[in-house]
Amino acid sequence: MTDTTIPTPELRPDCPNFSSGPTAKFPGWSLDKINTIAMGRSHRSATGKGRLKYAIDLSRELLGIPDDYLIGIVPASDTGAVELAMWNMLGARPVTVAAWESFGNVWIQDAVKQLKPANLTTLEADYGEIPDLTQIDKGDDIVFTWNGTTSGAKIPDTDWIADDRDGVTINDATSAVFAQPMDWPKLDATTYSWQKVMGSEAGHGMLILSPRAVERIESHNPDWPLPKIFRVKKGDKLNRAIFEGATINTPSLLATEDYIASLEWAKSIGGLPELHARADRNAQIVHDWIEATPWLRNMVSDPAKWTNTGICMVFQGDWYDGLDADSQAAVPKKIAGMLDEMGIGYDFNGYRDAPPSLRIWCGSTVEEEDVRRLLPWIEWAYAQVKAELS
């Protein structure tokens, strides 16, 4: 059955990429934007190391990272960066790992099943919620995710992190950095991947270390073995060459140049304030639409915790609630699949481990008009799916 009461929208997004990672390329991106000076060169050559260092320096400039913080390019995207920090820094003090979605739960599993530090506390919450972070002792090392990539719940502030804390903080910021302000004095190890807010090619992670983090790494020798790609010390000192353009393993200079192109684009449009504003404007469009759409609700109940990047929404209403579990799960899959096949919107079904949902990426590389054009198509597709399943 087809619902003909909803007219087919006339306008299509110019860019149909709404994936939450890898995300859309910046407006105007093309292959000829990629600098090829380092192609075919060793990453250890002066040219190769120079381009890697340039990526680090541009990241510092755009994000306003303090001068005494170190920035390194490490293997295995954000996951590698988080785990490198955990493997090197944990074990010296009690640890609390807080999670409220899929990736945060990976860090819990790392701690519980792999590292097994003494005095481990885990704080968990369902999708769309955040645990009570104020109960964390200031003496604990803390591992947390700033923005829940698969739930759309972000921390509303950092008031729960003590200024005079004794522990260190490990912050997975991959779907927040460049779109949300980072409170650098509260952050000791911050990580992200190039593929999220900047829409760059994946494969490498960024590790940002405060002086407190450096002191921890240099003073602490973990009880567990460290794989080669996690080894950041020479003797008892941090290998600072890693934070000056050298890398632990061979990086992709092509991916590096793609990241540099996105950073240069960001700088050209006004830097971090404009990146934040673009994500905020996109997110406001989607949040307003959800509030005005009776058969949808934000997965996150508290507006103070609404993300401005990967917004997650679930279905509601008598018709949807009356479906069996398999049919409920089919609704977002069918909507996303239908619009994917039509070339309207790609990859905006909810994350596989999340409740049945849609997830629209609203980060800084997405154009506001494309977001506006996608939403009527979702309404149209919902009507078709509802007619089919009724």
Question: Does residue 146 sit in the same domain as residue 186?
Answer: yes
**Of the candidates 268, 291, 315, which is a domain's last residue?**
268
Place of tokens 């006004």: 270
DSSP label of 34: S
In a domain, residue 10? The reply is no
Per residue in 236-247, pLDDT (tens digit) is: 999 999 999 999
State in Å, rounded, how far the first CA of the chain is from the last one. Answer: 9
pLDDT of 1 higher than 80 = no
Confirm if 172 and 148 have CB atoms less than 8 A apart: no
Per DSSP, 184 falls in state: G
CATH number of the domain that 262 lies in? 3.40.640.10
On whether both 260 and 287 belong to a single domain, the answer is no
Structural domain includes residue 111 = yes
Q: Does 300 reside within a domain? A: yes
pLDDT of residue 67: 98
* Interatomic CA distance for residues 269 and 260, integer angstroms: 14
Contact 60, 70 (CB under 8 A): no
Q: Does 258 lie in the same domain as 291?
A: no
Q: Is residue 24 part of a domain?
A: no
- Residue 354 in domain: yes
Q: Are residues 206 and 58 both part of a single domain?
A: yes
The number of folded domains in the chain is: 2
Angstrom distance (rounded) from CA 58 to CA 275: 14
pLDDT of 207 higher than 90: yes
**Domain of 334, in residue numbers:** 271-389
Q: Which of 62, 319, 78 is nearest to 195 (CA)?
A: 78
Task: Pick left, alpha or beta for residue 48 (phi over 0 → left; psi -120 to 50 → alpha; otherwise beta).
Answer: alpha
pLDDT the model gives residue 5: 84
User: What's the pLDDT tens digit per position in 18-51?
Assistant: 999 999 999 999 999 999 999 999 999 999 999 9
Report the C-alpha gap between 59 and 64 in whole angstroms: 8
Residues 243 and 299 occupy one common structural domain = no
Tell me how many degrees the CA angle 233-68-73 measures, rounded to the nearest 5. Answer: 50
Whether residue 188 has pLDDT greater than 70:
yes
CA separation for the pair 238, 365 (Å, rounded): 35
Question: What CATH number should be reported for the domain holding residue 348?
Answer: 3.90.1150.10
In the chain, what percentage of residues exceed pLDDT 70? Answer: 100
Is there a contact between 201 and 259 (Cβ–Cβ < 8 Å)?
yes
**Do 193 and 108 share a structural domain?**
yes
Of 215, 250, 268, which one is at a domain's C-terminal end?
A: 268
Q: What is the pLDDT of residues 265-284, one digit of tens each?
A: 999 999 999 999 999 999 99
Question: Residue 310: which H helix or E strand, with range?
Answer: strand 310-315
Confidence label for 234 from pLDDT (cuts 50, 70 and 90): very high
Q: Is the pLDDT of residue 99 over 90?
A: yes
pLDDT digits 0-9 by tens, 195-206: 999 999 999 999
11 inside domain: no
**pLDDT of 291 over the 90 cut:** yes
Which amino acid does the sequence have at 323?
L
18 within domain boundaries? no
pLDDT for res 249: 93
Asked whether residue 110 falls in the same domain as residue 246, the answer is yes
pLDDT level of residue 316 (50, 70, 90 thresholds):
very high
What is the predicted pLDDT for the residue at 333? Answer: 98
Which pLDDT belongs to residue 3?
Answer: 78
Predicted local distance difference test score (pLDDT) of residue 103: 87
How do residues 71-92 score in pLDDT, each as one tens digit? Answer: 999 999 999 999 999 999 999 9
Q: Torsion-angle region of residue 39: left (phi > 0), alpha (psi -120 to 50) or beta?
A: beta
Average pLDDT over residues 116-143: 97
Nearest CA to 314 out of 332, 337, 335 is that of: 332
DSSP assignment of 341-378, as one string? HTTS-BS-BPPTTSSS-EEEE--TTS-HHHHHHHHHHH
Q: Parallel, antiparallel, or unpaired for β 233-234 and 237-238?
A: antiparallel
Q: Are residues 123 and 149 in the same domain?
A: yes
Provide φ and ψ at 143, rounded to 5°: -115, 125
d(CA 281, CA 308): 8
Query: Does residue 110 belong to any structural domain of this protein?
Result: yes
Mean per-residue pLDDT, 160-172: 97
Residues 193, 205 contacting (CB under 8 angstroms): yes
Percent of the chain with pLDDT over 90: 98
Across the chain, mean pLDDT equals: 97
